[in-house]
Amino acid sequence: MTDWSLTLSAPAKINLYLGVHTERDDRGYHRVDSLMAAVSLSDTVTVTPAQALTVQTVPASDFPMQKNTAYRAAIAMAEHYGREANICVTIEKRIPLCAGLGGPSTDAAAVIVALAELWGIDRTDPVLDDIARGIGADVPFFLHASPAFYVGGGDVLATEYPALPATPVVLVKPREASVSTIEAYRRFDEAPVPADEPGAIASALRAGDAETAYALIHNNLGVISAQMEPQIQTVLDWLRKQDGTVAVDVCGSGACSFAICGTAAMAERLADAAQQNGWWSCATEFIPNTVRIEGLISDQFLWHTTEIFVTIVELTGCGSVW
């Protein structure tokens, strides 16, 4: 078996706009308009050869492997392309779960990207979007550029926008807080919260006007989440009272909230203060990429490198190490 190792960066996301509507599509899913942007907080996903498909997380989790989105993504890729996904996937988790940051989705997308790379499949192949969509609504976003607007069930790419500046963002999540997305949608159906129209924020992003876009951030599902989990509202109120925050809202359905900050120092200060309050927190920033291959190491590559070195030594007579 050839030894190789493929390492990928799998970033988190926040919703600059999330509009949930009462209408449903043919699948029974709510119509969702979702404008997402990636941030630098990332999981690291490493893929290596194995006798059979395995997925492990660091730190370890007792969550059933077969239900892990990364495992499901590998199975879906193998079934579609008629290949065997004999790989070991190791996920170094930094993105908190039950946060609305897309952690499981970005990990699944990383596996799709990894197998596409290993099997010689073009990352822009629409089939990959279809496979991603079958894993979860947010997964397709992590195959494309950031920011981007998704429609349908929040899983169909409509528009990609110019990259945002590396604007500082602070993420804050009460450690024990979680929100069931299914329950949040059920409560939304009982008492729908109207969504703002996305046209204005979309136009601002299209024009590259990040400042105006930040002033138009909106999430009508976040209102429901804050009602379900009072700690979310506590965090939102706290963030809105802080000097230097440009915009504050809930990440997806929660339980993490975010604040766009005027400076990186302000984001760091707020993260420190939030941790003093007993909350999980992280200072981060917007990035233009989603899942990215960081490196591929193989014994074949190392063998070729050694061969080139030997040839140079033979031609030059130089025996120095480089």
- Mutual angle of helices 220-228 and 181-190, in 10-degree steps: 110
Rounded to an integer, the average pLDDT of 45-61 is: 96
So what's the pLDDT on residue 249?
A: 98
- pLDDT (tens digit, 9 = 90+) per residue, 143-186? 999 999 999 999 999 999 999 999 999 999 999 899 999 999 99
- The 3-state secondary structure of the chain, one letter per residue: CCCEEEEEEEEEEEEEEEEEEEEECCCCCEEEEEEEEEEEEEEEEEEEECCCCEEEEECCCCCCHHHCHHHHHHHHHHHHHCCCCCEEEEEECCCCCCCCCCHHHHHHHHHHHHHHHHHCCCCCCHHHHHHHHHHCCCHHHHHCCCCEEEECECCEEEEECCCCCCCEEEEEECCCCCCCHHHHHHHHHHCCCCCCCCHHHHHHHHCCCHHHHHHCCEEHHHHHHHHHCHHHHHHHHHHHHCCCEEEEEECCCCCCEEEEECCHHHHHHHHHHHHHCCCEEEEEEECCCCCEEEEEEEHHHHHHHHHHHHHHHHHHCCCCCC
Q: In this structure, which amino acid lies at residue 112?
A: I
Compute the chain's Rg from CA coordinates: 21
What amino acid is encoded at 235 in this protein? V
Residue 91's beta-bridge partner residues? 45, 57
Q: Quick one: pLDDT at residue 27?
A: 85
Q: Is the dihedral of CA 19, 20, 22, 26 positive or negative?
A: positive
Q: Which domains does the chain have, with CATH numbers?
A: 4-295 (3.30.230.10)
pLDDT of 299: 65
Is 138 labeled as catalytic in the residue annotation? yes
Catalytic residue among 43, 129, 138, 155: 138
Count CB-CB contacts under 10 A for residue 117. Answer: 15
Residue type, 128: L
Q: What is the pLDDT of residue 26?
A: 80
pLDDT at 320 over 50: no
Task: Report how far apart the first and last C-alpha atoms of the chain are (Å, whole number).
Answer: 29
Is 237 known to be catalytic? no
pLDDT of residue 298: 80
Burial of 91 (0-12, 13-18, 19+ CB in 10 A): buried
Q: What is the pLDDT of residue 3?
A: 87
- For the chain, what's the residue count? 322
pLDDT at 217 over 70: yes
Q: What's the mean pLDDT when you consider all of the chain?
A: 91
257-316 confidence digits (pLDDT tens): 999 999 999 999 999 999 999 999 999 999 999 999 999 988 655 433 333 333 323 333
**Residue 86 φ/ψ, nearest 5 degrees:** -85, 80
- Determine the pLDDT at residue 1: 54
